[in-house]
Structure 1
Amino acid sequence: MNYSTQIDSEGFSILNNVFTENEIQNIISLIENKTADNPENNTFRKSQDLFAIRQFHKEIPETLPYIFNQKLQDIIETNFGKGYFITKSIYFDKPEKSNWFVAYHQDLTISVEKKIQTENFENWTVKQNQFAVQPPTEILQNNFTIRIHIDKTTKENGALKVINNSHSKGILRIEKLNFESEKETICEVEKGGIMIMKPLLFHASNKTTNNERRRVIHIEFSRQNLPNGLEWSEKTILQN
C-alpha cells in the first residue's frame, strides 16, 4: 500500500480498514481501564468539551502491540522506510456534545527533554514540565503523523479539515494563504481507519453537531537525531 506520492503532493492520505473491530475494542478497553484507575493523573486533561491523554504511548504502553499491528508497520515501512520512532502521542476524545473547535494551524513544535539554546531552534515553551520548541523547517518536513480513528469521523463530529498541499509552502502565517484559490478537504475516516499527514499541512477541526463521539490517537514520528545534545523527550523505538 504505497501512498507516498499522494502524501508528498497533497500532504495527507486516508486509509480505511487498517484495524479490525477486535483490535479497536482491545485499545478502547485498555484506555477505559487506565482512565478509570487514574482519574487524577496530571497527563490526563478532562473537560466537558475534551478529554486528552498526553504522552499516550508512555501512559498506556499496553496499547502498542494492538496499534502497531502488521498492517500499520507495513504502511509505515512502505511509505517512509525504516528507522522511524515515536516522538509524541496524544489521545483525543471529543465528546458527543463538544463545542470545541480548532482554527487552522500547522504543527510547528517538537517535545524535547531539556532546554539547550541551539541555532535555529526557536519559540521555547514549557507545559507539564515538558519543553517544546520550534525546530528548523527541514526537521518538520521529514516527520509525519498518523491519526488512528477509534470512531467513525465525519464533518458532523469534528473531522479534520485540511488545505491540500499547504505543507509544501514551508512555515507560513495563515494570513498568507489565499483561501479563495486553495482546495479544502474534509477528512472523513471510518472507524479503524487512519489518516497520515505532514506536520506543516494546515489543518483545523469544527465543533461537533451530531452528538457522536470522536476518539483519535495522534502519533508523531521521526528518524532524525537532534543536534547540540537536544533529545526527543518522548522518543520510543518501535519494536517488531
Structure 2
Amino acid sequence: MLGGAVPCRGGWVLITGRLQGVTMAPGPAQVVPTFLAVVDHRPSFDVLTLAAPIGLPETGTPEGRGCDRDARDVLGPRRAAAVVSPPGRRALGAPSYEDAIEANGGPLSLDQWELVHHVAEVDREMQPFRQRSLHEIHPELSFHQLNGDRPLEHPCHTDEGRAERRALLVRKIPGIERALDADLVGVRRGDLLEAAAALWTARRVASKGVIRLPKVPEWDAKGLRMQYLR
C-alpha cells in the first residue's frame, strides 16, 4: 500500500495507491482528521509520503534546513519561493503569532505561522522508527521530476499552474482523475494535486528510483532525518 498526504483545512487529504506489477492503481481521495490517523491507516503503508516537515531545527531561520536550501536550488529562481522554511520546534506551542516569533529565536513569516498546527501535529507523533516507511516530500519537487526535471511554466496557485500540474499527473498516473475531481469538505483543488504528486513520489520510493536531497541528510535533536525525496 502506498500513500501521499498533505495538510488541508479539514486535517489531511490522503490518496492511496496499490502497485500492480509495474503500474500503480490509485484509490479515491479522502480526508483524515489527524496525522496519527494517517500513520495508523489500515492496511498499513509500505511507503507513505508527506508534504509537511519531518525533523526540525530548535529555532527557525529564513533559509530553513539544508534540504530546504537544496530544494530551492533544484527548483531554480522561478519556483524556489514554493519552498517555505519550517518554524523551529520552540515555536510550535506558542499561543499567538507574537509569542511564536519570540520562541522561534528570530523572524517568523506568516507562511511559517500558518504551518504551525500541522507541523506540531507531525512533530508530536514522529519517531525515528517511522521513517522506515514515512518520508518527507515537497510537491513542487515532485512536479519538477514529473516535468522531466524542468521548471514548470506557471505558479501552483494559478489556474494555469493547476492545469499544468493536473496534465502531468493524468499523463503519468492512469486513473488519477477520480481522486483529483473529488469534492471534499475543507480540501482545495491544489491540495488534491499535491496529494497526487506525493503519491507519485511514493511510487518512486517503492521502485527505488527516488532521489534524495541532500544525499547525506541532516538529523534533528529528536534523531529525525531531515531530507526530501523526489
TM-score by length of 2: 0.29
Higher strand share: 1
Query: Over alpha carbons, which structure has the higher Rg?
Result: 1
Higher helix share: 2
